[in-house]
Amino acid sequence: MCCISSFYVFVTWSQIFTKPPCAFILFAYFFKIFFYFSGVGCNSVEKKIYVHLNYTFPCVRLLNATHQIGCQSSLSGNVGVLHELESEENLDWVLTSGPNPPYMVILESRLFTRSIMMKLKEGSGRVAGVVVVAPNINPPEGFSPHTACPNDNSGVYTENYDPTLAHCNATVWNPLGNGLAYEEFDFPIFSVKDDNDTRVIRQCYQDHNRRVNGSNPQFPLCAMQLRSSMSAVTNTATCKRRNDINFSLTPDRVCDELGDFNIWASSRPMNTTTKGHKEFESVVIAAARMDSRSFFFDIAPGAESTASGIVTLLAAAHALRRATQEAPPNRTILYTFFQGETFDYIGSSRMVYDMENNQFPLDLDNIHSVLEVSQVYILIYLGLWLHSDPVSRKNSSVKEEVEKLVNGLKSASAGLNVSVDEPDVSQPLPPSSFQRFLLARPIPGVVIGNYRSSFTNRYYESMYDNAEYLNVSYPENMTSEEQLEHFPETVKTLTEVATLVARALYVQAGGNETQLANITADPQIVNQMLYSFLVRANNSWLQQLVPTDFTNHLADRPTNFYVGVIQYFSEPTTLVQYMLANMTGSVVNVTQEDCQKQREDKDDDQSKHLYTYMWVQGAAPPNSTEREGFCVRSTVHRSIAVSPAFELHEYTTSNYSTWTESVWKPITGRIFLVANTTITANPVNYFVKLWGKKWRHKQARTSHL
């Protein structure tokens, strides 16, 4: 603001020179000068009033066919007087007795519970917003903002399929789920980390807002303004309709559909340009999900729910590389990573839809069986559970195949430190991508998880499902290089699980049992992948596997697995793509130009139907700093993962996911001192009163004369 005012001073200076060309030149000159200086040494009044909050995670609005969830603030931001909540009883101050509403409530993480949030939701105008202070260690009692029955209406268990298994009647998968992430709030909710910013907030509260000896705090009070104004309302159909309005005066984008890409690779190359059914191709799908979420936007560490499955499947693919090339089994193994599964199975429903409509290189009839890797983090003495669908098992051929798969897994576990078992026969499948395949065809399949009848994950789909929960910790004082050499305990168990999955897949694909002893996962690879996903993607190992233009997308913080709106370089999808290429592909001696044009030499136009070529930057040899790139040939492909509802333009359907994310104005937060609440509530009123006072003063003075 002050820069603009000083700029205007210089514009008037330039008008001293009346000759127009001279004035213009001078004007342009000072304009340029002021742009250079605007960032430096500007004695801004704004900086003396406001303290901006830097590392905040807001809660945003998401919409589906029938509801809107998440938070909303007013267009310029909600302002409220700060109040630190001490306990649930203290809510009374905020909701009824406090003299300076509206209040901005600061919650410690232990108070971020459903009962307190529901009471605040009923606050009706006295609550301006909520700030949750994220602790440095996970809350021991567990916290899951997801629903207790995840993906309830979008899986295979509906009233038609089997009423006794629908709506988690048989077993509740996420018992700690409080459903907060699916509630609607009309005030903003932000999350701040417990660091310097938060200390400033708490200090401000202690200095100005605390009650002393039972008397109410006096003005000036510390206040906070949170701005997270969402444009979309009501539901997906409404916001999509408003996106498309042509003759409106101000065409604004209001919402965007959630989606990304699925990543898949086949153990044997097949023609990907011809779509639809492939004769003589029988495929075993090895599936894992690639996404997670939390209550707040853009933070979804998903360590147990997502990363454990991805790392296990990638390590299994690496372990199987040699065996599938030297002694290829009868059936092809398709390693598939689905994106968007949290939001009603976006990725898997799209893949099934593409298969049904001949948009995918395979067909549903080509699928022999499915093996899905769900949450598989275990401690040494615990085991894994093999879930299958009881309804499709009533068919004898399906039952036989499932039993074969289960026996393959059990025999593969014999030589390893991992034990597997089957839960109760009548128990349904847990929430998994396999359910969408079952919706289309009765395919035999098994879902591997570390839980018997309800998740052992205490932080399912929350911001606490992170490296700390998985006991993956690296000593702080090590550099990134040294940390990659250090193996936490978790790595060893995950390696065992990966070996189990790899051997079972090989047997299921019809491979020779004598080869099994040679199939083992590499713990170093597992460690490097876990480090990349859970601690920092910007490490020396991963930098070798990616092309040069992706390196600045590598983050220095844990991977964010939130599916978000479709973008070309989304973090988890691209990481999995390059890792999978490295695990299953091979290095070929091809020039960079040919590599990027998807061919092996000038005259080759067949390879692009079978393979994908990627030029990655590689490592720098010991004597120089220039990296030596190379070409990786693999069968890794991306397939679009946007819900079929958006292809068909059916925004009210209940058959497919209809989740969209609202578009928002810039999201900011700041704290400041406020002199009198009436200025925040009703500025016109305040100034009228002020003028009234001044005018009366003036009257009084002139009457003396």
Partner 1 sequence: MNLERLPNEEKLGLCRKYYLIGFAFLPFLWLVNVVWFFQEAFIKPAYSEQLQIKSYVKRSALGLLVWVTVLTTWITIFQRFRAEWGEVGDYISFTIPLGTP
Can you tell me which of 43, 124, 213, 248 binds partner 1, judged by CB under 8 A? 248
52, 67, 114, 241: residue in contact with partner 1 (rule CB under 8 A) = 241
Stretch of residues binding partner 1 (CB under 8 A), selected from 94-102, 191-199, 244-252, 471-479: 244-252
**Given 33, 118, 200, 245, the residue binding partner 1 (CB under 8 A):** 245
Q: Which stretch binds partner 1 (CB under 8 A): 228-236, 304-312, 328-336, 420-428?
A: 228-236
Decide: is 255 part of the binding site for partner 1 (CB under 8 A): no
Residue of 64, 72, 151, 639 interacting with partner 1 (CB under 8 A): 72
Q: Are 547 and 615 in contact (CB under 8 A)?
A: yes
Q: What is the dihedral of CA 342, 343, 348, 352, to 10 degrees?
A: 160
Residue span binding partner 1 (CB under 8 A) among the ranges 241-249, 277-285, 414-422, 613-621: 241-249
Kindly give the pairing relationship between strand 636-642 and strand 259-266.
antiparallel
Binding of partner 1 by 234 (CB under 8 A):
yes
Contacts of 70 by beta carbon, 8 Å cutoff, 6+ apart: 59, 60, 61, 62, 184, 185, 230, 662
Interacting residues of 46 by C-beta distance below 8 A, sequence separation 6+ = 1, 2
Q: In terms of CB distance, is 248 or 623 closer to partner 1?
A: 248
List alpha helices for 122-226, DSSP H: 196-204
3-class SS of residue 350: helix
The answer to whether 238 contacts partner 1 (rule: CB under 8 A) is: yes
Whose tokens are 């002139």? That residue is 702
* Pair of tokens at residue 388: 């299958």
Looking at the DSSP bridge assignments, the partners of residue 58 are 190
Min dist. Cβ of residue 122 to partner 1 (A):
20
Quote the least distance from Cβ 75 to partner 1, whole Å: 7
509 binds partner 1 (CB under 8 A): no
Q: Determine, following the binding rule CB under 8 A, whether residue 425 of this chain makes contact with partner 1.
A: no
What gap in Å lies between CA 337 and CA 313, rounded to an integer?
9
CB atoms within 10 A of CB 592: 11
CB-CB contact of 201 with 75 (8 Å):
no
Q: Which is nearer to partner 1, 237 or 283 (CB)?
A: 237
In a 13 Å sphere around the CA of 567, the CA atoms on its Cβ side amount to: 10
Q: Report residue 163 as tokens.
A: 């009423």
Interface with partner 1 by CB under 8 A: which range of 112-120, 219-227, 238-246, 406-414?
238-246
Q: What is the smallest separation between the CB atom of 592 and partner 1, expressed in angstroms?
A: 47
Sign, Cα dihedral of 589, 595, 600, 601: negative
How many helices (H) does the chain have, and how many strands (E)? 21, 23
Question: Which segment (229-237, 349-357, 453-461, 534-542) binds partner 1 by CB under 8 A?
Answer: 229-237
Q: Going residue by residue from 188 to 227, which x/- string records binding to partner 1, judged by CB under 8 A?
A: ----------------------------------------
Q: What is the nearest approach in angstroms of partner 1 to the Cβ of residue 132?
A: 22
Q: Considering only 19-27, 240-248, 347-355, 565-573, which stretch makes contact with partner 1 by CB under 8 A?
A: 240-248
The CA angle 379-445-448, to the nearest 5 degrees, is 5
**Distance of alpha carbon 257 from alpha carbon 243, whole angstroms:** 11
Tell me the residue ranges of DSSP E strands in 388-470.
420-421, 445-449
How far apart are the C-alpha atoms of 253 and 498, rounded to whole Å?
A: 44
Does 97 help bind partner 1 (rule: CB under 8 A)? no
Q: Is 254 in the site for partner 1 (CB under 8 A)?
A: yes
Q: Name the minimum Å distance from CB 77 to partner 1.
A: 12
**End-to-end CA, the chain:** 42
Nearer to partner 1, 238 or 453 (CB): 238
Min dist CB 58 to partner 1, Å, is 14
Window of 78-86, 196-204, 233-241, 384-392 that interacts with partner 1 by CB under 8 A: 233-241
Q: How far is the CB of 74 from partner 1 (least distance, A)?
A: 8
Separation in Å, CA 398 to CA 188, 254, 402, 404, 438: 50, 46, 6, 10, 12
Task: Give min distance, CB of 231 to partner 1, in A.
Answer: 4
Closest CA to 369 of 270, 268, 499, 510: 510
Alpha carbons 82 and 201: distance in angstroms, whole number = 9
Q: Applying CB under 8 A, which of residues 249, 425, 517, 684 lies at the interface with partner 1?
A: 249
Q: Does 146 bind partner 1 (CB under 8 A)?
A: no
Return the number of the residue (64 or 294) whose C-beta is nearest partner 1: 64
CB of 151 to partner 1, least distance (A): 28
Comparison of 247 and 381: residue with beta carbon closer to partner 1? 247
By beta-carbon proximity to partner 1, the closer residue of 83 and 242 is 242
36-44, 237-245, 479-487, 571-579 -> range binding partner 1 (CB under 8 A): 237-245
- Tell me how far, at minimum, the Cβ of 677 lies from partner 1, in Å: 24
Kindly state whether residue 232 participates in binding partner 1, applying the rule CB under 8 A: yes
Closest approach of partner 1 to the CB of residue 230, in Å = 5
Task: List helix spans (H) across 279-366.
Answer: 308-326, 346-356
Helix (H) / strand (E) containing 621? none
214's tokens: 């039972």
Q: How far apart are CA 130 and CA 15, in angstroms?
A: 50
Cβ closer to partner 1: 231 or 515? 231
Contact 486, 454 (CB under 8 A): no
Binding of residue 229 to partner 1 (CB under 8 A) = yes
Work out whether 450 is an interface residue with partner 1 (CB under 8 A).
Answer: no
SS3 58: strand
For position 650 contacting partner 1 by CB under 8 A, the verdict is no
Kindly state whether residue 246 participates in binding partner 1, applying the rule CB under 8 A. no
C-alpha 480, offset from chain centre: 24
Beta bridge partners of 672: 223
Name the one range near partner 1 by CB under 8 A: 18-26, 108-116, 242-250, 306-314.
242-250
Number of residues that bind partner 1 (CB under 8 A): 18
Position 398 contacts partner 1 (CB under 8 A): no
CB contact at 8 A, 649 and 30 = no
Residue number with CB closer to partner 1 (236 or 349): 236
Q: Output 241 or 694, the one with its CB closest to partner 1.
A: 241
Residues engaged in binding partner 1 (CB under 8 A): 72, 75, 229-234, 238, 241-242, 245, 247-250, 252, 254
